[in-house]
């Protein structure tokens, strides 16, 4: 933390210093994240626009750059309509439950070797636990709205997320077998040595399964049956308006960025430079810019998928999750275990 902030903090009593320092760190993570979410929506509309040979939003501000700000103000100023026969407390609680875990997960993300809010030992497990809780926002929203479409969507989301979480968890088991640690920083450091030491190569099946499961877990196209507008209007958030809707939106995009960053951390070497021998050169060497670059690249895939693939049919989603991804991850874990402990090729996975 910079010197001048520390000197300002030193006028407070000790316990308050800790609280204030943590608060400042949390704001330093959440504020850029919210800005990234706003501009991710803009990037999404622009990129999909160009893919469909349109220009996308270009009216507000220079070249449309102020569009997300205008959207945010529009949502802030709109009325929040609570349906008459809904469950009012749970209706308001649902968006909070959606955004809470998706922000809490950021507490353990290491942005570089030293830049991490909470460097806990079991950070991978913590992230799994937090992301698995995001589904409550959707389920409770669907149930509390007292609407058929919202409820159908909640049921779909619950079944889908439970199915893909298992595949996701098993993919992470492979990562922690290779790294020998549950700590995200240690996982990145285990991948030191350049492009071909990163885990995307030895764990290629797990990398693919993890990222596609991540797309399914965040309810993004082509797995967005929970809000399939052609069948169930808008799914779980059909009754939500104004700020309550915006909070769901924020949670979805924050989760997308989280999944992209986790993929970059666990399979693409995190903040490591792709040229291992240049790790000390400024700009080309290791640093937070590499992590952000890799995250942006993975986010581009999210948007590209949405522009390319038609929506999966529901039974096909279930089949892909249970009958394809889970067996693939299980087999690869067994292959890794056998290779590491019974054959001389174990070093390939380290």
Partner 1 sequence: MTFEQLAFYFFASVAILAAAMVVTVRNPVRAALFLILTFFAVACIWMMLEAEFLAIVLILVYVGAVMVLFLFVVMMLDIDFDQLREGFAETLPIGATVAVLVLLQLVIVLTSGPFELEQVAAPVPAAADYGNTHQLGLLIYTYYVYPFELAAVMLVLAMIAAIVLTLRDRTGTRSQKPHEQTQVKRKDRVRLVKMNAEKKN
Least distance from partner 1 to the Cβ atom of residue 345, Å? 23
Spatial separation of the C-alpha atoms in residues 203 and 196, rounded to whole Å? 12
**Region binding partner 1 by CB under 8 A among candidate stretches 52-60, 133-141, 243-251, 290-298:** 133-141
Work out whether 94 is an interface residue with partner 1 (CB under 8 A): no
Collapsing DSSP to helix, strand or coil, 275 comes out as coil
Minimum CB distance to partner 1 smaller for 165 or for 286: 165
Nearer to partner 1, 40 or 326 (CB): 326
DSSP code of residue 325: I
DSSP-derived secondary structure for 172-224: HHHHHHHHS-S-HHHHHHTT-SSGGGSTTTTTHHHHHHHHHHHHHHTT-TTS-
Please select the residue that binds partner 1; options are 30, 35, 122, 335, rule is CB under 8 A: 122
The residues, any chain, with a CB within 8 Å of residue 250's CB and separated by 6 or more, are: 34, 37, 99
Is 59 within 8 Å of 42 (Cβ atoms)? no
- In the complex, the smallest distance separating the C-beta of residue 220 from partner 1, rounded to whole angstroms, is 19
Q: Of the candidates 99, 109, 116, 128, which one interacts with partner 1 according to CB under 8 A? A: 128
Binding mask 57-86 for partner 1 (x = CB under 8 A): ------------------------------
The residues, any chain, with a CB within 8 Å of residue 274's CB and separated by 6 or more, are: 194, 195, 290
125 contributes a contact to partner 1 by CB under 8 A: yes
Q: Which residues contact 46 (CB under 8 A, 6 or more apart)?
A: 56, 57, 64
Q: Is residue 19 near partner 1 by the rule CB under 8 A?
A: no
Contact assessment for residue 203 and residue 332, using Cβ atoms and an 8 Å cutoff: yes
Q: Is 105 in the site for partner 1 (CB under 8 A)?
A: no
Give the phi and the psi of residue 222 in degrees, each rounded to 5: -90, 15
Q: Does 104 bind partner 1 (CB under 8 A)?
A: no
Tokens representing 200 are 């995307």
State which residue, 63 or 88, has the beta carbon closest to partner 1. Answer: 88
The residue within the footprint of partner 1, chosen from 154, 171, 175, 184 (CB under 8 A), is 154
Cα 211 to Cα 276: distance, rounded to the nearest angstrom: 24
Residues with Cβ within 8 Å of residue 166, at least 6 apart in sequence: 321, 326
117 binding partner 1? (CB under 8 A): no
Which spans in the chain are helix H?
3-9, 14-51, 67-77, 88-104, 123-133, 135-144, 148-179, 184-189, 204-217, 229-232, 242-267, 288-308, 314-319, 326-342
Taking a C-beta distance cutoff of 8 angstroms, is the pair 164, 134 a contact? no
Stretch touching partner 1 by CB under 8 A, among 69-77, 151-159, 207-215, 237-245 = 151-159
Q: Which stretch binds partner 1 (CB under 8 A): 65-73, 116-124, 195-203, 271-279?
A: 116-124
Burial tier of 78 (Cβ tally within 10 Å: 0-12, 13-18, 19+): middle
Which tokens is 321 given?
């999750």
Binding to partner 1 (CB under 8 A): which residues in 306-325? 315-316, 319
Residue recorded with tokens 């590499």: 290
Q: Which is nearer to partner 1, 38 or 159 (CB)?
A: 159
Candidate list 17, 112, 132, 146; residue touching partner 1; CB under 8 A: 132
Q: How far is the CB of 160 from partner 1 (least distance, A)?
A: 11
162 binds partner 1 (CB under 8 A): yes
Instruction: Give the x/- contact pattern for partner 1 in 229-268, rule: CB under 8 A.
Output: ----------------------------------------
120 binds partner 1 (CB under 8 A): yes
Residue 110 Cβ vs partner 1, minimum distance, rounded to whole Å:
17
Residues lying near partner 1 in the complex (CB under 8 A) are found at 15, 90, 120-122, 125-126, 128-129, 132-133, 135-136, 139-140, 143, 151, 154-155, 158-159, 161-162, 165, 182, 315-316, 319
């Amino acid at each position: 933390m910079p010197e001048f902030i520390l000197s300002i903090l030193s006028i407070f009593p000790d316990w308050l210093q800790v609280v204030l320092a943590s608060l400042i760190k949390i704001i330093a993570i959440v504020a850029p994240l919210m800005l990234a979410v706003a501009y991710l929506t803009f990037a999404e509309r622009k990129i999909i626009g160009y893919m469909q040979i349109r220009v996308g939003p270009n009216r507000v501000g220079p070249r449309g750059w102020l569009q997300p700000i205008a959207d945010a103000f529009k949502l802030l100023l709109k009325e929040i309509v609570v349906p008459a026969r809904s469950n009012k407390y749970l209706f308001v609680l649902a968006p909070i439950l959606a955004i809470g875990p998706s922000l809490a997960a950021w507490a353990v993300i290491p942005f570089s070797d030293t830049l991490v809010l909470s460097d806990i030992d079991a950070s991978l497990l913590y992230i799994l636990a937090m992301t698995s809780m995001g589904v409550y926002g959707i389920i409770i929203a669907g149930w509390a709205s007292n609407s058929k479409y919202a409820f159908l969507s909640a049921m779909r989301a619950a079944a889908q997320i439970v199915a893909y979480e298992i595949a996701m968890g098993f993919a992470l088991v492979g990562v922690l077998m290779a790294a020998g640690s549950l700590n995200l920083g240690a996982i990145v450091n285990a991948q030191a040595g350049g492009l071909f030491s990163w885990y995307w190569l030895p764990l290629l099946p797990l990398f693919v399964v993890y990222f596609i499961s991540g797309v399914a877990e965040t309810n993004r196209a082509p797995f967005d049956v929970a809000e399939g507008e052609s069948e169930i209007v808008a799914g779980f958030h059909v009754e939500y308006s104004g700020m309550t809707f915006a909070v769901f939106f924020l949670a979805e995009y924050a989760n997308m960025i989280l999944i992209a960053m986790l993929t970059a951390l666990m399979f693409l070497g995190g903040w490591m430079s792709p040229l291992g021998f240049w790790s000390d050169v400024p700009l080309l060497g290791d640093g937070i810019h590499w992590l952000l670059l890799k995250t942006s690249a993975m986010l581009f895939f999210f948007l590209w998928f949405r522009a390319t693939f038609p929506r999966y049919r529901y039974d096909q989603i279930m089949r892909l999750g249970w009958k394809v991804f889970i067996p693939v991850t299980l087999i690869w874990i067994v292959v890794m275990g056998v290779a590491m402990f019974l054959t001389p090729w174990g070093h390939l996975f380290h």
